[in-house]
Every structure is written in structure tokens, then in C-alpha cells.
Amino acid sequence: MRLVLKDIEKKFGEKKVLKKASCIFEQGNIYGLLGRNGSGKTTLFNCISEEDKCDSGSIELFKDDEKDILDFSKIGYAFAQAVLPEFLTGYEFLKFYIDINEDKIKNLLSIDEYFDMIKIEKEDRFRLIKDYSFGMKNKLQMVCFLITKPPVILLDEPLTSFDVVVAFEIKQLLKKMKGNHIILFSTHILELATDLCDEIVILNNGALELLNKNVLNSSNFEESIMEILKEETHV
């Protein structure tokens, strides 16, 4: 399975954020998307998920070299701040989510089994989501991907504010999941990128560049990234 971005362009007013951005993302890999603040990482994710329409270019999903229909149901989008119905309990939310996605769920587990997978304790499962910690909300957001298994998963800096234990748990979860998905992981934390990601993609001056794997595994990885990103110009 491949996600192919070709010549994506997006501007807001006179500012062109994406400029013929092109890249091919392959199943089984976690891609770290690196870029400076304001470089357009969230804009790119919004275009892939159709939260925003790109001005030009194409975004296509291929399965066994045949083009697949890429719609919202094929995209899992985890926001930096989890968007959840806080008036429901965690248990009520998962039940509701399973009910509305029942037609596309394979090998359904019990709700408690999903909670066990993301390590939310039994006494917390019937608490209102509004009373959940930041980390618990993001784990609840992540479990949705375990249930519906969307081919493409977009993660917009979801680990930024986690404590070390929750961050480790979610990293392990992502590594287990990646074989059946294309995972794009936006982050500004270089250590996290090297620890979690199989490939690094740079968003710089509106264009995408897939970094050579030798750079990712080299001792001067951080210096190489800094050298690329400091060349960014601002319009």
C-alpha cells in the first residue's frame, strides 16, 4: 500500500504554504514529519484528511498497484489536543464509536480488552472524559485506530505533553501497529523522531524531502536537520 502525494499546493491569502509538495509513503513505516513552526505540517495533514482542500495536486492511495478510493474513513487523524465528547464516560464513548463503525470493524474485541491494550484502569473506564488527564484522552483517541484500523494514520504531535511512561506506552503501541498502516508522525522533537520513526520527511519552504536513511542513522543527524531547516525562507 502506498500513499502518493504529487505537487500539492495550498495557500492562505497571498502566503503559499505548500509548494508542489510531493512524496510517496509506504505501508509498514512510521514517517517522522519535521519542519519549523509555521512550516505547514498541520496544513499538509489537513489536506491529506480533507479537513482542508488543497488548491492543486493529487493525493492518492494505491493498494497492490491499483488506485483505492481515499476518503475520510481511510484516514485516522490524531490531533495534538484530543477532540472527544467529554460529556460521555470513556466506556460510553468506545461503545458509541464501535456502534457507528460496526460495518467496517474486523476481529472486534470487547471494550474492556481495548481498555486493557491502552492501559486505562478499570476504575477510570466509567469516569467522564472531561475528568481524564491529557494522556488518558490521547490514549483514548489512539485506541480508535486499533478498532477501525484505518490504512493511513496522521499523528499531529500527539506525544508532546505526555509523561515518560505514557509516551513510552504509545510508542510501543505504534511500533506494533505499523505493519498494517502508513503512519505519518509530525514532531519537532528530534530525539523522538530518531527513536520512533523509520523514515524522516522534511517540510521546508513548502516542499517535502525524504531524508536519506544514512543521515537518520548517523551521529550528526541533528546537525544535518538543523542545516536543512535553517535555510528556510519566509515570505
CB atoms under 10 Å from CB of 137, counted, come to 18
* CA dist., res. 49 & res. 56, Å (int): 15
Torsion-angle region of residue 5: left (phi > 0), alpha (psi -120 to 50) or beta?
A: beta
Please tell me the predicted confidence (pLDDT) of residue 232.
Answer: 54
Q: Which residue has the higher pLDDT, 34 or 72?
A: 34
Domain 2-229, CATH class in plain words: alpha beta
Domain ranges of the chain: 2-229
C-alpha cell recorded at residue 37: 513552526
Q: What's the predicted TM-score (pTM) here?
A: 0.86
Give the Cα-Cα-Cα angle 26, 169, 122 (nearest 5 degrees): 125
Mean pLDDT estimate for the chain: 86
| pLDDT for residue 119 | 86
Q: What is the pLDDT of residue 161?
A: 59
